[in-house]
Amino acid sequence: MSIPDETLMAYADGELDPVTRDAVESAIREDPQMQQRLAQHRALRQRVQSAYAAELDEDVPQRLLNAVRGTAGTPEVVGPARQSGAEPTAVRPRTRQRRWVIPVSMAASVIAGVGLGFFIRGGTPLVQSAEGALVAHGPLANALSNQLAADQASDSAVRMGVSFLAKSGDYCRTFTLPGAAASAGLACRRGKDWQIQLLTPGTGGGGGESGYRTAGSAMPEALAKSVEEQMAAEPLDQAGERAARANGWTTVER
Amino acid sequence: MNVQAMNTSETSQNVREQIVALLPRLRRFARNLTRNHHDADDVVQLAVERALTRLEQWHSDARLDSWMFKIVRNAWIDEVRARGRRDRIFLTAEAGDHIGVDSMAHETVMLSVQAAMARLPEEQREAIGLVLVEGLPYREAAEVLDIPIGTLTSRLARGREALQTLLGGEET
């Protein structure tokens, strides 16, 4: 009786029901070749297990312990503004339990009520309220219309992320505003405007906190999700972006 | 213990400490996924934060480790998607790092288990990571990966075969 390799493997992993297990055992008894295959499976399992065993002894970084316990503890990532003598209790937990995110429907009223300080650069607002919608303004609008992801200066005030054609038929682009309160958002071309679909505080810790961590490479979850939902096809590559820009970010042939 | 009881701070405290105890394994699994220690810790942190906001979704008769592994994996999937879309243009060089599996297989140099694992396709790597490294039963691993057990076993079998080849094959 020949035993399929997958069954032999499951036997080595202790995953077979008693009946199949007995059948395998009696088949193995008379088959040296199968015994060898079984030994191989076991040896590999053993080898993989022991190769990774040491990783369990490594120290867990404090930031992960803090994330679980929800305590500030001793933050290992601190902004330059953090005083070395600051009381631990004065440091807010770094867990980003509720990142605030402004869906477009609420954005206009929120921006009026709160005034998003960090959306203003050099005295110029980057977003404006227009007919109940939020539209990009100044440097942000300029970057959305002209800046290609592939050739942007590393110190540009606005960094473009991914550009794509949305299910709505509009071109949309993600952007980040580097800085202490790194923020990110998604804008879609509507007529001559870039309508802001979403604003998030990016990978920063939220407004008003002196400690911040470096932006890292993660796109904020809410933004990624929104992009995911709206994207109609693969994001534009360099040539695609260039072509879309040349066409004024409109899908209507001119 | 019912779901309501999960809301008491004492229980939540208890679960948090259980998660703390799981951190070394979560990191190890995340490293297998990400193949990068720094990414792994970021993903674990994100997963922990997500898990804490939905502790009420975890039922105490389910394995906490499986539940956490799944959240870690989903966090990584989201991260890869976000990153891939945003950075596609910039990452071409790095993506090239994993080309050349075939040529490696013919080298006489023995790879470390970790290096061999890093060369497996993702779906095999995560299956092996959960079953052989983390010791999850097939049923739990299939649940973490959202696949039928049959799919899991075939990925495991292919992954093992590839590892055997990369690690020098017939040494037993």
Q: What is the mean pLDDT of residues A82-97?
A: 37
Q: How far is A227 from chain B (nearest CA, A)?
A: 8
Q: What are A40-64's pLDDT values in tens digits?
A: 999 999 999 998 998 999 999 999 9
Residue A169 DSSP label: S
Residue B23 sits at the chain A interface (C-beta within 8 Å): yes
User: What is the fold of B100-172?
Assistant: Arc Repressor Mutant, subunit A (1.10.10)
The full set of domain ranges for chain B reads 1-95, 100-172
Q: What percent of chain A has pLDDT over 70?
A: 66
How many other CB atoms sit within 10 Å of the CB of residue A48?
Answer: 23
CATH class of the domain defined by B1-95: mainly alpha
Query: Which of B14, B28, B33, B49 to mutate to probe the A interface, most A CBs <10 Å?
Result: B49
The confidence score (pLDDT) of residue A25 equals 94
The confidence score (pLDDT) of residue A130 equals 67
Q: Does the fold of domain B100-172 match that of domain B1-95?
A: no
Residue B129 DSSP label: I
The confidence score (pLDDT) of residue A182 equals 56
> Is residue A179 very low, low, confident or very high in pLDDT (cuts 50, 70, 90)?
low
- Residue A128: what residue type? Q
Residues A64 and B72 sit within 8 Å (Cβ to Cβ): no
Q: What are A226-254's pLDDT values in tens digits?
A: 788 788 878 888 888 998 999 889 876 44
Q: What is the mean pLDDT of residues B112-122?
A: 89
Q: What percent of chain B has pLDDT over 90?
A: 55
3-state secondary structure of B167: coil
Task: State chain A's mean pLDDT as an integer.
Answer: 73
> Is residue A120 very low, low, confident or very high in pLDDT (cuts 50, 70, 90)?
low
Q: What are B44-71's pLDDT values in tens digits?
A: 999 999 999 998 888 878 899 999 999 9
Q: How far is B24 from chain A (nearest CA, A)?
A: 5
List, as ranges, residues 153-172 from B with C-beta within 8 Å of A.
153-154, 156-157, 160, 163-164, 167, 170-172
Which secondary structure element, helix H or strand E, spans residue A134, and what is its range? strand A133-136
> Is residue A168 very low, low, confident or very high in pLDDT (cuts 50, 70, 90)?
confident
More confident of the two residues A156 and B48: B48
Q: Please give the model's pTM, rounded to 2 decimal places.
A: 0.53
Q: What are A9-25's pLDDT values in tens digits?
A: 999 999 999 999 999 99
